Structure 1
Amino acid sequence: MGSIYLIRHGQASFGADDYDVLSPVGIRQSEVLGEHLAQLGIRLDRCLAGDLRRQQDTARLALAAMQRAGIEVPSVETDAAFNEFDADAMIRNLLPGLLPEEPEARHILRNGTEHRSEFQRLFALLVQRWHSGEYDSNGCESWQGFVQRVENGLQRALQQASHGDNIAIFTSGGTITALLHLVTCISASQAFTLNWQIINTSLSQLKFRGREVALASFNSQAHVQLLKAPELITYR
């Protein structure tokens, strides 16, 4: 059987003008992940990443750390199917409908770094509305459209895979959530309950034989836990 390693990007720059940039913590997480993969003796046959900067940079830094440890690594192939859903567009389109119930929502969402717990609560509410399909808008990708995009990327990866390949996919939490939904057939709501637990640079593993795919492990944090560095365990 082959393996697909789903790797969430390192910590991005939450609250900054450009979220899509790894923070110093995100850079270190990516390097630590690569060192850990090298220690495990994992050799990758292919490496895929979405085209978001945080995904590409996490891949680049992790592979460079593996290479420094003497492990031969593949080049990074880009497939935008593994991009995160557009959270900003989702918020813009669904927020007006939430304001009658949550009149402070706009202020909280604009100042997330000052209201982290409330930001997460409101963001989860909006995500719930999004994946329910009851509030679909022409202004953003639907949950079903997102899942189809991710499934197309997975099928391309499987079509091009050889038996026993080790494939790394550097992606985002929402994309991993869609893949959990597809592979395990759990509901979108259940998948997003797991989503909130996915840490930056965590490692989830799928096993595949042909087109058959099964979940082998989820959200491994061993690379940061072994360092006893709690500051490297982040969720956004």
Structure 2
Amino acid sequence: MGSIYLIRHGQASFGADDYDVLSPTGIRQAQVLGGHLAQLGVHMDRCISGSLQRQQHTARAALEQLDTAPTLEIDDAFNEFDADAVIRALVPGILDQEPEALTILRNGANNRAEFQRLFAMLIERWVSGEHDVPGLQSWQAFVSQVEGGLLRILERASNKQNIAVFTSGGTITALLRLITDVPAHKAFELNWQIVNTSLSLLKFRGREVSLASFNSYVHLQLLKAPELITYR
């Protein structure tokens, strides 16, 4: 069987003007991941990344630690969904019950717990399909985008290849939904637990794909440095 390693990007710059930049912690996480894969002797036949900066930077920082690595391929299908667009489109619908939502969401770095509570509420509305807004990518359209990327991988792959996909938490969640048929709201409950640079492993034969492991971050745990275990 072949293997697809789903790798979430390193810590980005939450609360900064540009989220799509790895923090110093994010760079370190990616380097540790690459060193871990090198120690395991994992050989990658293909390496694919979404086009977001944080995904590509994670890939390159990790791959630099390997003795040999294939050229990084870019596929937009593995980009994260536009969280800012979801917030902008759906927050008006919760203001009656959450009058402070705009202030909290604009200052998320200063109130992470409340930001997460409100963001989770908005995501639940998004994945339900009952609050679709013109111009906003729907959850179903996002899942279809990710499915297209997975199918392109499988069409080119042989059953003994190791393939790394550097992506984001929402994309991994969409793949969980596709592969395990877990309900979307349950998939997102798992999403909130996905650690930066964690590994989730898919096994495939032809177009048959199964989940072998989820959200492993032993490469960070072994360092006994809790500051490297992050979720954004």
Query: What's the TM-score, normalizing by structure 1?
Result: 0.98
- Matches of 1:80 and 1:56 in 2, distance apart? 11
SS of structure 1 residue aligned to 2:62: helix
Which of 203, 226, 229 is residue 230 of structure 1 equivalent to? 226
Q: Is residue 2:32 matched to residue 1:36?
A: no
Q: In the alignment, which residue of structure 2 is the partner of 1:59? A: 59
- Matches of 2:137 and 2:59 in 1, distance apart? 25
Q: In the alignment, which residue of structure 1 is the partner of 2:21? A: 21
- Matches of 1:61 and 1:83 in 2, distance apart? 18
Return the offset for 1:154.
0.1
- Matches of 2:8 and 2:133 in 1, distance apart? 27
SS of structure 2 residue aligned to 1:12: coil
Which of 139, 143, 152 is residue 139 of structure 2 equivalent to? 143
SS of structure 1 residue aligned to 2:165: strand
Give, as a single letter, the amino acid of the residue that structure 1 aligns with 2:162: N
5+ unaligned residues in a row in structure 1: which ranges?
none
Q: In the alignment, which residue of structure 2 is the partner of 1:218? A: 214
Give, as a single letter, the amino acid of the residue that structure 1 aligns with 2:88: R
Give, as a single letter, the amino acid of the residue that structure 2 aligns with 1:10: G
Q: Is residue 2:120 matched to residue 1:124?
A: yes
- Matches of 1:201 and 1:55 in 2, distance apart? 10
- Matches of 1:137 and 1:154 in 2, distance apart? 27
Q: Is residue 2:168 matched to residue 1:168?
A: no
Which of 99, 108, 129 is residue 95 of structure 2 equivalent to? 99
Query: What's the TM-score, normalizing by structure 2?
Result: 0.99
RMSD over equivalenced CA pairs, Å:
0.5
- Matches of 1:157 and 1:210 in 2, distance apart? 10
Return the offset for 1:139.
2.5
5+ unaligned residues in a row in structure 2: which ranges?
none
- Matches of 2:95 and 2:13 in 1, distance apart? 26
- Matches of 1:14 and 1:35 in 2, distance apart? 25
Return the offset for 1:72.
1.1
- Matches of 1:91 and 1:33 in 2, distance apart? 31
- Matches of 2:225 and 2:65 in 1, distance apart? 18
